[in-house]
Chains A and B, each alone.
Chain A
Amino acid sequence: MNTQELIRIEHLNKTYENGFTVLEDVTVNINRGDVISVIGASGTGKTTFIRLINRLDEPSRGSVILDGVDLSDPNVNIDTMRMRIGMVFQSINLFEQMSVTDNITIGQTELLKRSKEEAVNKAKELLKTVGLVNEADSFPEELSDGQRQRIAIARALAMDPEIMLLDEPTSALDPMTAGEVVAVLRNLANLGTTMVVVTHNMSLAKSISNRIFYMDEKGIYEDDTPKVIFENPQKPRTKEFIFRVTSFNFALDNEHYDYIDLRNKYLNFASSHGIDEKNTDFCRLLIEELATILPKKSGTEITFSLAQKTGEFELIAVYSGVDYDILSEDNLSVTIIRNSVEGYAHKYVDGANRLALKWGRR
């Protein structure tokens, strides 16, 4: 066995009772210090894959060997082995009637038989790691969802696991609070924590991982560095997934349209398509300025799209009425848009204005 190797997965197979095989003959190693993001379309077995690692789901065939111990061996105490694996879920389950500190100490005192003092000291140290020292005495219901997820991470870390498995840790959170959790995960990655993270958040995958598993065709279809997977994927289905041209629309069809909804949908889109922070803010500015000056009436709509391959962004606005280029006005929003984009075109076709703005990745 390689001394760096922590988990060896051999010929893993999962077929559900209805006969559907989600994973077939998966063989892979996870090394100490690996930070692996598991990405891919829905239904490709990402969550099943990590649930099989700590036997929350039983494999149909194959084995998971943690530090030389085969978890499918009937003589192995699975509860003891599970203590070596930390798990964080999308839905955040904390003990609501216990303080934050008690949430983090209970597993330590009950299962690891640590003294109360030792457990509290450990909790303090972990609250520092997740940036929530001031919430030690708070109760879960007093915390935001992002803070609750950070406590769930601290609670899992309190057991000193050898590996952390995280199942979509940011997907239940709004984009603003998801950022707090991403920052904590980045910090853990820097501290050398071995992690496997299932995520749709491509910026998270890009920024924290040393390996990406792209899941497709009932297994790990491509296993490589973020640089290769996101910039130069080798296999056809990975290419298709990474370089898909993607867009989202938003209707600005009345004066009371919801800007917060537009902003949050855009921020979700940006994070799930791996747009970095700088470009996320820059595109957000253009979307906000365009939304500010567009006439809010029936038929007004914007479409934001990203060509993954060329890294070009495009923002198209359609609005009805007379032939009128809103960028011919003189105001702050127009100045910002005109100084930011690399190209723009206005057309008037069949009673509708179409304004197209283009710019490249910064």
Chain B
Amino acid sequence: MTSTNGLEITVDGLEGGDSAVTVMLVGSLDTTTVEEAQKMLLEVLEKLEIGDITVDFSELTYISSAGLRVMLLLNKEATDKNIKLKLRDMRQSVREVFDMVGFTALFTVE
């Protein structure tokens, strides 16, 4: 687990060599936390050869365009590696930001 100002990221499934990894985001994905989030998420993707990444949004309370850009980058990198990215359990306020910019259609949102 790593922690930055206002965001905690937990990765589950990577150590066991599973092909399904779940990344949990807790807190805020804003200007101050995206750098660390981007680094962590791309590291997870790099270690994964095949399979899925699920990002659990249930404890993410805030996202801004800075966070959306990270998700967009992650989606692009995952697609390039043939890995499926899924976004799960978004809160309504976070979902609204995705909807506003038309991102809901770009991602697999569960």
Contacts and interface: CB of A to CB of B under 8 A. Distances in A.
Interface of A: 176, 259-260, 263, 278, 281-282, 284-285, 288-289, 291-292, 331-333, 335-336, 339-340
A259 B62 CA distance: 16
Interface in B41-90: 61-62, 64-66, 68-69
B62 A285 contact: yes
B100 A259 contact: no
B93 A281 contact: yes
Chain B interface size, as a band, is: 10 to 19
A332 B65 contact: yes
A284 B62 contact: yes
The 8 closest A-B pairs by CB, nearest first: A332-B65, A339-B100, A288-B64, A333-B65, A335-B101, A259-B31, A260-B32, A281-B62
Nearest to B101: A335
A281 B29 CA distance: 12
Interface in B26-40: 30-32
A153 B20 CA distance: 42
B65 A263 contact: no
A278 B89 CA distance: 18
A252 B95 CA distance: 29
6 contacts: A281-B61, A284-B62, A285-B62, A285-B64, A333-B65, A336-B101
Nearest to A286: B64
B14 interface: no
Contacts of A284: 62
Nearest to A282: B93
Among the interface residues A259, A263, A281, A291, which one has the most CB atoms of the partner chain B within 10 A?
Answer: A281
B101 A332 contact: yes
Contacts of B6: 176
Contacts of A263: 30, 32
A224 to B, nearest CB: 31
A340 B64 contact: no
Interface of B: 5-6, 30-32, 61-62, 64-66, 68-69, 93, 97, 100-101
Contacts of B32: 259-260, 263
Contacts of A285: 62, 64, 97
A281 B69 CA distance: 19
Contacts of A176: 6
Nearest to A332: B65
Given A281-B61, A339-B100, A332 B69 contact: yes
B93 A289 contact: no
A89 B69 CA distance: 43
Nearest to A340: B100
A339 B69 CA distance: 18
A278 B93 contact: yes
A266 to B, nearest CB: 12
A282 B62 CA distance: 9
Contact of B5 (A260, A281, A289, A339): A260
A263 B6 CA distance: 11
Contacts of A332: 65, 68-69, 101
Contacts of B101: 332, 335-336, 339
A284 B31 CA distance: 12
Contacts of A336: 64-65, 97, 100-101
Contacts of B62: 281, 284-285
Contacts of B64: 285, 288-289, 292, 336
Contacts of A331: 65
Contacts of B31: 259, 288, 291-292
Nearest to A335: B101
A238 B26 CA distance: 39
Contacts of A333: 65
Contacts of B100: 335-336, 339-340
B105 to A, nearest CB: 14
Contacts of B69: 332
A176 to B, nearest CB: 6
A289 B32 CA distance: 13
A282 B97 CA distance: 10
